[in-house]
Amino acid sequence: MADTTYTIDNLCYLMERLRRAETGCPWDLKQTFKTLAPYTLEEAYEVIDAIENENYGQLKEESGDLLFQVIFYAQLGKEQNLFDFEEIVSLLVKKLISRHPHVFPEGTLTSERRPGRAQLNEQSIKDNWESIKQSERKEKGQASILDDIPLGLPALTRATKLQKRAARHGFDWPDMQGVLDKVHEETHELNEAITEGEVDAIEEELGDVLFTVVNLCRHLKVDAETALRSSSAKFERRINHIEERLHHQGKKMVDIPTEQLDEFWTEAKFSTMSKHP
């Protein structure tokens, strides 16, 4: 049998079938917006994992899984007379057209910028994008410039977004040296909290150190989340190297003195560096 090529309409129909009261899937029938949320987050991370591993076959599959989450929300919305998939798409297209006046100058999907007209630079486009989003926030009744930054974001990502948003409105260090000085100040305050042994103060100061390091990443134009994920992956590779070495000796890390583990770590460091420059 030849492979069948399916469309987005087929996917929407499949979703409707899964949710049919009498003949649908019991698991799918139990789901709500809230119960689906953790799965959506998981699927998003699996997309990122495929990208970081440069596994594009996996990326194709994981992108489909993430799309299915959107289709699922659309079906739930349709059942509750809140919205449907067509409305999701229409709203998205309208929003993207309005946020890209440099591409759609007349605010319609078919309008085009005149050939030969000067291109806006990237910073001008970003400034215009933020201005449009600020207008959208006002229309939604969001008073603060930080109102629409989701609480559910990973902490490093949310810290970066908070800092970027505040910086666009004039609240920022004038240069990187000010941030470096702040890192030293927060580290000193953390040392004082550790010396005093105040658990709550230690947690607060650690948070301040992390927040300030994120600010340093931003000034250096380094994505904090990506940098930490990269360092975590590097740590994992080195631990795996140590475990592999010990496995051949019939040992585990808990059986090895700290000094010898340090030697293995140094060996792992240079070994994994040669494989991952």
Same domain, 178 and 240: no
User: What is the mean predicted confidence (pLDDT) over 141-162?
Assistant: 84
Does residue 12 lie within any of the structural domains? Answer: yes
Instruction: Give pLDDT tens digits for 179-201.
Output: 999 999 999 999 999 999 999 99
How many domains is the chain built from?
Answer: 3
Does residue 204 lie within any of the structural domains? Answer: yes
pLDDT at 1: 47
Same domain, 204 and 241: no
User: What is the mean predicted confidence (pLDDT) over 109-129?
Assistant: 73
Same domain, 171 and 215: yes
Same domain, 26 and 68: yes
Same domain, 248 and 197: no
Of the candidates 43, 58, 81, which is a domain's last residue? 81
Contact 76, 33 (CB under 8 A): yes
Contact 217, 248 (CB under 8 A): no
Residue % of the chain over a pLDDT of 70 = 90
Does residue 136 lie within any of the structural domains? Answer: no
Of the candidates 222, 239, 261, which is a domain's last residue? 222
Same domain, 216 and 205: yes
Does residue 103 lie within any of the structural domains? Answer: no
Does residue 267 lie within any of the structural domains? Answer: yes
Of the candidates 48, 81, 114, which is a domain's last residue? 81
Contacts 24+ apart (CB under 8 A), 142-149: 145/169
Q: Predicted confidence band at 277 (pLDDT cuts at 50, 70, 90)?
A: very low
pLDDT at 150: 85
Two tokens at 261?
Answer: 């583990």
Contact 112, 101 (CB under 8 A): no
Owning domain of residue 257: 225-275
Instruction: Give pLDDT tens digits for 216-247.
Output: 999 999 999 889 989 998 999 899 988 888 88
> Cα–Cα distance between 91 and 179 in angstroms, integer?
40
User: What is the mean predicted confidence (pLDDT) over 52-58?
Assistant: 93
User: What is the mean predicted confidence (pLDDT) over 84-111?
Assistant: 92
User: What is the mean predicted confidence (pLDDT) over 132-157?
Assistant: 78
Same domain, 201 and 156: yes
How would DSSP label each residue in 50-64?
HHHTT-HHHHHHHHH
Does residue 145 lie within any of the structural domains? Answer: no
Tell me the average pLDDT of the chain: 89
Task: Please report, as a single letter, which amino acid is at residue 94.
Answer: K
| CATH value at residue 25 | 1.10.287.1080
> Cα–Cα distance between 88 and 147 in angstroms, integer?
22
Same domain, 163 and 174: yes
Same domain, 169 and 231: no
Two tokens at 58?
Answer: 């996996």
Backbone CA torsion sign across 259, 264, 269, 274? positive
Same domain, 18 and 60: yes
User: What is the mean predicted confidence (pLDDT) over 245-250?
Assistant: 86
C-alpha Rg value of the chain to the nearest Å:
25
pTM for the whole structure:
0.65
Does residue 96 lie within any of the structural domains? Answer: no
Does residue 112 lie within any of the structural domains? Answer: no
Same domain, 249 and 194: no
Same domain, 216 and 229: no
Place of tokens 């470096």: 180
Task: Please report, as a single letter, which amino acid is at residue 11.
Answer: L
